[in-house]
Every structure is written in C-alpha cells, then in structure tokens.
Structure 1
Amino acid sequence: MSKNEAAEFAGRIADLFICHEEVVRIWDRFDSMRVHLKAGKQNEDPRHLLITGLSGVGKTQIAKRYVKKNPSYEFMQDGKKITAMPVIHVKLPYPFTMLDFYKRILKSLKAPITRSDARVNYVKEQALNLLIKQRTEMIIFDEMNFIIRTKRFDDQAAMEMFKDLTNEGQLSIVCMGTPQIEPLRTMEDEYIRRFGWETVRRFETLDDTFLSLLQKIEEQLQPPKPIYLNSTETAAYLHECCQGRIGYLHSMIIEAYRLLDVFEADFSDFSKAELNMSILAKAHYNLFRDSDHLRPPSDK
C-alpha cells in the first residue's frame, strides 16, 4: 500500500457515514417539510420538527450530511452574485443567550457580523434579512439541551424566539437533542401543533439490520483485506460495546485504527494494521474505561 492509498484509507475511516434506513427515514421527513414550504404553503404556518435520540445515535451526522446533500449554490439578483444556502446546521450556544443565538445563525450563513458592539436587535435583523436573501428553507438546530441547561434563560422565552424566527423568515426548523428536550415541545398546545416529533432509534438488538450495518461499514472502509466486522463473534462484541449507537461504534473503529498507526503520516504497511478482537477491546478500554456506558439506556 502506498502512502497515498494509506492516507485515502485513513480518510475513509475518519469520514465514515452509512446511509442506513433510519437516516433515509429522517431525511424523507426533512424533504417533505421543504416541499410543503415551497408548494404554495408559505403563507401558512411552516412545518417544524423536534427530533430526540440518545447520545451517540447519530443525530448530528444526520443533520450535517443532509446539509451536505443540499449544498449552497450561486444565483444572480439585481446584478449581484448571491450564495443561496437552502439548509443550514446551527449548533446552539452554551450558555444560551439571544445574542449568541443569532450570531450562530450568521456564522452558519458564513456571514460576518459587521459591528463588534452589535446589540441583539441589530444581529437579529441581519440574520433574518440574510435568511431570506440567501433562500434558506430549513435550519437544523443542534444541542437543544443547552436551552434547558441554561438556568438563567427561560425555556418558553427560547421557544418564542424560534416561533418568531419562523414567522419572520418563513422557513422550517428542526430542533435536535436528547429525550430531555421533549418538555420544550409540550409546554404549550401551540408548540405541539407547530412541531412534529421524531426519534432517531438506536440498533437496539443484534439482528440482521445491525449485521447489515457492519457489512456496509466494511464496504465503505474498503480495507485491503477483509476484516469480517459482521462475523458472529465480532458483531456481538461490537453491539455490546456500542449498545446499538453508531456514534460509539465509529469512535471505536477510529480508535482501533489509531492504535494500529493508520493515522500516522508515514503509515504505508497495512500488514501491520489488521483489525482483530484484541485491538477492538483495547480501543474500547481507551475510550470508555470503567464507565457505565454499557448500561442499557432507559430511553429507547
């Protein structure tokens, strides 16, 4: 294996993403919301979605890859070239504040804040104007738990900010977090009406769907030699370690190959980097030590 081939292999490990059934199901919901928005429904309430899921089930990757699937493009308006951004991903700030909320939106729009001493109303107006100008149809807000954790900020005040944003910008929003954010949706009948609800499920049991996932991972990694991730012993061990959460699984694979020096700049001899149970066990220990992550989660 040449150094270039080794670097490409390391890149595939780091950039691993499997478009499994759960991803397709959530993306289809996103597509539906955007079609509804564009099909003459913009004068009505846009459709919104609250997505919950355990840590590590892949919520953030689902969001970021959907943005990548719907990239920016340029168009001309009044003789000026404008970059349209149909879908953006916004990681909410912690602690949550109104000013930082709008600043994060501007950052995702790749727009500079023109004044260092800008106040909330100024930044809000700039964000709203650019969302319309850049034809944004959907914002995916990540880390909604930061709202709940910010004790000095009222939860309902935050939800009213989201409502105001959608009313002014006429766009759809997706709010993502762990199951603890569900009360944000249910505190008012109006929020229940505006927000649908989805749960990103983990691979709860060691069944054909999980075995298929492992096979797709190996196919995407394209190792020079088969590593048989979906063999009976390896699959059972991996499922126990990750509890069906793809984020944990990806972390283990990255750590295992790190231990095998695949990410070193001078790596080129793949014969010294064969994945096996011993390496996976060491990777698991390095990541989790004696933590209780193996305890079956109460929220499914």
Structure 2
Amino acid sequence: MLTMTEAATANPSDPEPKPPLIDPVCGSGSPAIATLERLTVRYPRWKRIYGKIEDCRVLSKNAAEPRCLLIVGRSGVGKTSLIQKYLAEHPPRETATGRVVPVLFAQIPAPATIKAMASHLLEALGDPMPQRGTLDGMTQRSVRLIAACQVELIILDEFQHFIDREKNFKVLQTVSDWLKNLINSTRVPIVLVGMPESVKVLTENDQLARRFMAKERLSPFQWRGDGKDEFIRFLEEVSEKLPLAEKPMIYSVDVAQRMFWATEGRTALVMKIVRSATREALVNNWKTITIRELAKAYTEALVGDDDELTNPFLGPIPPIDAYGRPVRLSQDEPKEQTPKKRFKAAGSASKSDFSSMMKGQAA
C-alpha cells in the first residue's frame, strides 16, 4: 500500500502510461464516475437518523397518530444526501391500478405560501395542472392524490422558509396551520428538514410542535474527544468505497487534520474535495489520489483561484485549537467566515515548501 507521499511522486512518472479509463471530455458516462457520484458512506450518525425516518414511515401505519420528525443541520452537513438516498431506496412505481408514491418529496418554496405549498405537492404527485384552482380546491386535490398514490411518508425540505426573513423573522402562522391540518386530514407522517433556525417555527406554534416532538440534529464532525476518531473512520470508509485501484491514505492523521481544517467537518465539503480529486485520477488512469490532488481539488471545488487564500493541503499542517476549531491563519478576519474567506493568509505555499513538506511526511 502506497502512502500519500509515495503515491504523490508515483502517478506522473508511470513508465508505461495506460489509456485513460474515461474520455476526459465525455467521461460522465463512465461506470467508475457513476460509482463515484453515487457514493454514500453510512456513518453512525447518518444511519441513526436514516433509521428515525424509516420509523416514521413504518411505525405510523399502525399508530394512533402519525409519527412526525424534524431534522435540522447547518449547510453542508449531509441533509440533502441523506434525503436523496432515502428517496432513491423508496422510488415511485407504476402498478396495474395506478401510480404508487411511497415517499412524497417537495421543497418548501420561498416565501412559503399555502397556495405555493399545495402546488408543489400536486406537482410532485403528478397532477397535470398543479397551479389550477382555488386554495381549498388545491388542498382537497392534494389530500385525494396522497391517498390515491398510497403515500406513506411526506418529506418537506427547506423548512426554514416558514420564517419570513423580510419581516423580522416572523413565523408564517397560516402556513404552519395549513401543514398541521394536512397531517390531520391525510394521517400521513411528515419529515421536515431545514436549517437550525427552523426550530423557531415549532416554538411559536404549540399544536404543530406537539406533532413534531421528535427532533434530530445532523452536525458536522468534531476534532476533539471521540469526534476526531469518528472523522478519521469516516474518511477511511470513504477511501474504501472510492473506485480506485489502490486505497488512498486520506485517513492518516495528518491528512485528516488538513481535511478537517478545509471543511470544518462538513461531509458535503469533504465529498466535494474527494470527488474532484478522484475524478482527476480516473481521467489520468492513476491508481490512487495523493495530497497533491487534494490540494488541487480544494482550490477548484471549494475556493476557486484566489492567491490570497492558503491551501491547507500545502505547507505545514494547519493548527486546530483545544476546542476542536480550525485556527485562522490571519488575526484580521471577522469572527464568522465561510471556508473560502477563512483561509486568508500570506499566500499559497511554493513548490519548494511543498517538496519540504512531502520529505517531512516521508521521514
């Protein structure tokens, strides 16, 4: 097994380069690329919340009232991939008696209005004219189609849109009441997904809150206590699933710390970097990915070409403080920054700096 350092020098100097695994221009149809894009790592927290969603669907069938669930999390923590995986495993199907939609998914529009909500549900149910009719008529059609399509679970994303940001973050009570009535009318459980501020909707609507007693938070990985080991295990599972000839050592402690600094433990950002690096390896028929590809992928997938940003995969390992937070390399930055803004420093490491780093790793 090559280390990240050994592989970094091995790829370009392959004495007899093989033809690329995929066409660099038309490579999206490659089986390896398809595997890469579908890659899902079911780490413990992911599996627990997935199981909670399944409980809502299955246990509600014989329950006195639907088991509903609220899932919250910051951007990039994996909410979308979790829901997409659940939908993929419970797809709609055509039967002799009509279309069956076991899991109905819709995004809550912004701003959220009752009519827009009803229209989105009707469209997801296959209504040919989802915007037609009065509000009452659209709601009644939604209820009838939910029953006709044998819907067992409704998932609504972007729940934070129930908060009106243009009016002092006021909760949209009429839409909240409409959602409560939809649950009562259909007896179908609903999973709401949104940003952490979504909880405000429930705190200001007691009747809706009673139906969403179960709440789950999908959080970024941490770099302290057991969180560090959990993050490293996650990276090892990612490494094992990549469609590469050799398992890349992205889970070594030094590379894992760089990855955590780059992503703040957010799975969506980790996968952006890893997918970008792996794509390049597949196009060039390399056996594995190295820290060099990760450095390039970080620039291309997360921050773009900005000479003022420091690449955490180049130079010394970036520090993380005692609280598990990435230490900013500039004291002049504002307190809260996106990953792109946070990496402001003297500039990217030079080639000589990179060579020194690689020698240090090899030692």
TM-score band, normalised by shorter chain: 0.7 to 0.9
Correspondence for 2:12: none
Task: Tell me the secondary structure at the aligned position of residue 175 of structure 1.
Answer: strand
- Per-residue deviation, residues 212-267 of structure 1 (Å, max 9, x unmatched): 21121122212123321112222111111111111111111233345x285xxxx4
| 2:107 aligned with 1:91 | yes
Is 1:283 equivalent to 2:301 in the alignment?
no
Q: Which residue of 1 aligns with 2:22?
A: 3
**Structure 2 counterpart of 1:14, one-letter code:** E
Please point out which of 175, 191, 196 is paired with 2:192: 175
Q: Say which of 330, 337, 345 aligns to 1:292.
A: 337
Structure 2: which 5+ runs fail to align?
A: 1-19, 310-335, 343-363
Q: TM-score, normalised by structure 1?
A: 0.83
SS of aligned partner of 1:113: coil
Shift in Å at residue 194 of structure 1?
1.2
Matched, 1:72 2:92: yes
Q: Does the 8 Å CA contact 2:240/2:247 hold for their aligned counterparts?
A: no
Contact 1:51 / 1:200 at 8 angstroms: preserved in 2?
A: yes
Aligned to 1:217, the other structure's residue is in SS state helix
Counterpart position of 1:184: 201
In the superposition, the TM-score normalised over structure 2's length comes to: 0.70
The one-letter amino acid of 1:235's match is: A
Aligned partner of 1:147 in structure 2 is 162
Distance in structure 1 (CA, Å) of the matches to 2:21 and 2:208: 56
| Secondary structure, aligned partner of 2:151 | coil
**Pairing 1:59–2:107 present:** no
Native 8 Å contact 2:273 2:294 kept in 1: yes
Secondary structure in structure 1 of the residue aligned to 2:30: helix
**Contact between 1:50 and 1:198, CA under 8 Å: does it hold in 2?**
yes
**Number of matched pairs:** 280
Question: 2:162 & 2:258 partners in 1: Cα distance?
Answer: 36
Q: Where does 1:214-293 land on structure 2 (aligned, <5 Å)? A: 214-257=235-278, 260=280, 262=282, 267=283, 269-271=284-286, 274-286=288-300, 287-288=302-303, 290=309, 292-293=337-338
Structure 1 residue 127 corresponds to structure 2 residue 142: yes
Question: Which 4+ stretches in 1 moved above 4 angstroms?
Answer: none
Give the counterpart letter for 1:285 in structure 2: T
RMSD: 2.6
Deviation (angstroms), 1:59: 0.8
CA distance in 1: counterparts of 2:252 and 2:183, whole angstroms: 48
Which residue is equivalent to 1:298? none
Conserved in 2, the CA contact under 8 Å of 1:64 and 1:89?
Answer: no
| Shift in Å, 1:121 | 2.5
3-state SS, counterpart of residue 224 of structure 1? coil
Q: SS in structure 2 opposite 1:292?
A: coil
Taking the aligned partners of 2:55 and 2:117, their CA distance within structure 1 comes to: 26
Unpaired stretches in structure 1, ≥5 consecutive residues: 296-300
Alpha-carbon distance in 2 for matches of 1:141, 1:171 = 13
Aligned-residue offset at 1:31: 2.2
Q: Distance in 2 between matches of 1:234 and 1:55?
A: 23
* Structure index of larger Rg: 2
Q: Which structure has the higher relative contact order (CA within 8 Å, separation 6+)?
A: 1
